[in-house]
Each structure stands twice: as structure tokens, then as C-alpha cells.
Structure 1
């Protein structure tokens, strides 16, 4: 007789374990996640322990609340027995026309300050006219941003890093950021393995500014920039999620003046 057998439960799967790990990495309790998603704490507990199988919609809601990388979301969907949910369209795809248009608008609006679009391996996918003007000012080739990798040109000798007055500081920050990203990006990890590691952490001055600045040695004197990033909100495509636009905002009047003149010269029709 089977009358006294315990109720049948789903076998524990890696999907629940992965979800629990993501929740703990986000420093959220089950109750916290329940409040954010509108689900019951008991249901989340059942999912994590394998006693309940989440629907694709439930998984999506949980993963978006945990802000999990889309590649990791796909792995979790597979572990739960579903097809991967998030694609990776090429930036040239007709479906991403609105994305390309938005990028072009942001790049143009940033002039006369430099701005570049970076992909998941730090490859430069687009740049505005002021970036080309800055490279020309430094004596770098006019097409220096074509097929350029920002991480490579910062860390390898002979690149942009050689023009930085605070090269040790910027290289250390770039290495640390890329190393964190490489934990979930095998292609970036491979690239990083072939690059020289910075000699050590840069010293911190007693009167350090509130942000790490980029100080460039140029024929027009020192140029100082603040760095900010723009990303797309609520991406559901891996390519779109990986894109970020780095803005180099001049940090003083001299840098604004030099960049404004360099940009105007670059767009002035030749006679």
C-alpha cells in the first residue's frame, strides 16, 4: 500500500541552488526577494529546495529582481528544463535599429567631450568625433579607434596608456574592473590572461579627489577627464546588456577649451 508514502516532490535541481546562490550574492533574504517580486516566501523556498518547479515567467521575474547577468539567466533556464530565453543579436541586426540610433544620439550629444561604445570584451564598437580628435592630438593614427580594444591599449606598451600621467592608477582600476567581469566572461578572461598585469596598486594621495580622474599628457599640456558610463535599462538581449558608453568629461576649463578647439578643427571643412 502507498497510503503512507510522503507526498511526491520534484527532485532537487541545480536551478534552485543557482537561484539561492544569486539571492545570497545579492545579500537578500527570501523575505526580501518575496517583497520585491510579490511572491510568497514559501513559494521561493520551495523553488530553491526543488520542491516546486518555477514557470518561465516566475524565473524571469526572480532573475530580473536579482539583476542576474543574462548569460547566467540562460544557464538557469536550461537547468530548470527550459530553452534559453535571452538572445544575442549582432549590433547590426535590423531589430536593434533603435539601439544604434540611441547610441549615435548619445555620442553626438557628448561632443566636444570624447565618448566611446564598449562591448563585453572592452572592444571599441563606436566613437564620436571628439575621440578621434583627442587621438589625433596625441599623435595616434586617425583610425586608431578602428578595431581598438580599450583594455589592450591601456595595458600594453605603445598604446593609450603610455600617454597617461597617472598610468599606474588607471591601469590598476582597469585591471580590477576587467578581472571582476572576467569571472563570468570566459572570452574576456582569455584576453586578460595575455595582457601584462599592472605592477601594483597605485598609491592614494592624502588630498585625493572624489573620483579617479584620467590625466593625459598632450602637446597642449595636461588634460584631465572624469569618466562616467551609460548603459541601457532593462535589456533583454545579451548584446544590448553588454554595451556601455564611456564618457570622458573634461574636469577643468583648460581641458574643455582644448577639446572644444580640437573638435571644431576636426569637423571644419578643408579648403
Structure 2
């Protein structure tokens, strides 16, 4: 008997199945997961998974959800794959300014304000800067950067690595820039806009950063050490906040990076700079 997975598909369904299969295969390969491993995670045969990836079989909506869950695919990629297969997207993508996003905006504002005068800012999954608190503006002043440069359209990765960027202020540049670059490359596997930025910046990076191997840590956390314009030093470490169980593409893409002073001198410098800001 002919395996149902190999039965010919009508032409319209065949095109959708092929597009969805291409999307799944690309996601799996970026995750560096083999067909066998993914098939075991989902509980289907490797042969059937191969047929789905090549478009010889059309996956049901439920099967696509199971595969995308197993791949831990971002919500945007899940929608794209479902659309490619001819199904409706599972998640909405609201603009941050939409009325329904008011609780999200309020939560972000509270997180940023509560963290003053230490720096905190909101990024999307392509590292675009969306919001920043007074502590971030104070840090920029201490580094000799015009806070006005943090307006709409600023990308933190470009701000770090383009000539004249923030990396010039890093005292431990190789250590911090190397870690930032490695993290960006990992995240870029699942974010097409970030992949484009990583490839844009790659030729500008010293070779040693691309092959960064962290040294034996002397501290439990990576310290970011920044040289201020008056010759002082800021010592900071960071943590991230994300929304739990987001059901919207935009909400899922957001994160707050909080920087914490690692010593009293840094805390005092930031507080004094924030107090001197207008408004």
C-alpha cells in the first residue's frame, strides 16, 4: 500500500506544502537540530518529517504547531510558516501604540522609571532602541554622547560596533564586545532583520571578536567597564526582563535591559548625572 505521506498532492496544496516545508527546514537548520532529533521531539517518523520538509506531504495545522513548538520558533516565524502552508496566522501583531497594548506600555514605563537613575532601555528582537529611561540618558552624558542621538531608529548593535560607536568607550572592549557579538549571532538565527544587521556589521569587526573565546571569569557576572569623558569609570552588569507567555508578535519581541552599578562610585556618578538632566 502506498504510504499516505507519499501520496501525490493537488497542485495548489503542493505549492503551499513546499513553502511550509522550506520554512520548517530553514528554522530547524538554524537551530542546528537534526531531522531525527526533531522527529523524536514531536513523535513522528523521520521519514514523515522529511516528506513535510520537501513538500511531498502537507502537515496539518496541529502538526505545524507541534513542530514549531519543538523548534521554539518565535511567534513571527510561526505566523510566517502557517501562512506559507495556507493556514491563518495564530498570533496578532499589534503596534506598540495600539490601545490594546496600553498594559504593555504601562508595564514598560514602570520598569524603566523604577530603575532610575541606573540605565534601562527597551529593545525589540532586532536590537532597535524603543524607549530609554533618564539613567540611560545620564550614562550617555557621562560618555560624551549626545542623548539626542538616542531618538527613533537607533539600533543598539550598530551603536556599539559602527566606527565611533560605544565600543570606543569600553575599557574591557574585547571581553564585552565579544560577548555582545556572540549573543547577537545566536539571536540572529531566529530573527531575519537581526540577521541582516549582523551581516552588515560583520566586515567591520576585528577577526578576534568573531572567534571570541571567553577567558576564565574572575567575577560571577560580566562587568561592562566604560570610560567617562572626565577619565572616570563606570562598572555595570545587566539583566533582562521579558513578558511571560506573550500572545502577540510585538509583545514577544520586547525586552528590557537593566544595567546595575557594580560599585558605589558608579552609583554616585549616575545619580549626579541624572540629577543634572533637564526636566
TM-score range, shorter chain: 0.7 to 0.9
1:37 aligns with none
**Shift in Å at residue 161 of structure 1?**
1.6
2:266 aligns with 255
Larger CA Rg, structure 1 vs 2: 1
Q: Which deviates more from structure 2 when the two are superposed, residues 162-171 or residues 186-195?
A: 186-195
Q: Where is the helix percentage greater, Structure 1 or Structure 2?
A: 2
1:236 aligns with 247
Question: What RMSD in Å do the two structures reach over aligned CA positions?
Answer: 3.4
Give me the TM-score of the superposition, normalised by structure 2. Answer: 0.75
1:264 aligns with 275
- 1:76 lines up with 2:81 in the alignment: yes
Aligned positions, number = 257
Whether the 8 Å contact between 1:214 and 1:226 is mirrored in structure 2 is yes
Structure 1 residues not aligned, in runs of 5+: 34-40
**Matched residues in 2 for 1:207 and 1:179: separation?**
22
Give me the TM-score of the superposition, normalised by structure 1. Answer: 0.77
Q: Which deviates more from structure 2 when the two are superposed, residues 107-116 or residues 79-88?
A: 79-88
1:197 to 201, 205, 228: 205
Alignment of 1:99-114 (within 5 A): 99-114=104-119
**Shift in Å at residue 8 of structure 1?**
4.9
**Shift in Å at residue 77 of structure 1?**
1.4
**Matched residues in 2 for 1:7 and 1:176: separation?**
44
Structure 2 residues not aligned, in runs of 5+: 10-16
Task: Give the secondary-structure state (helix, strand or coil) at the position aligned to 1:194.
Answer: helix
**Shift in Å at residue 131 of structure 1?**
0.4
- 1:163 lines up with 2:179 in the alignment: no
Deviation per CA, 1:81-137: give whole Å up to 9, x if none: 312323332211222111111111111111121011112321111000110011112
Task: Give the secondary-structure state (helix, strand or coil) at the position aligned to 2:111.
Answer: helix
**Matched residues in 1 for 2:38 and 2:207: separation?**
40
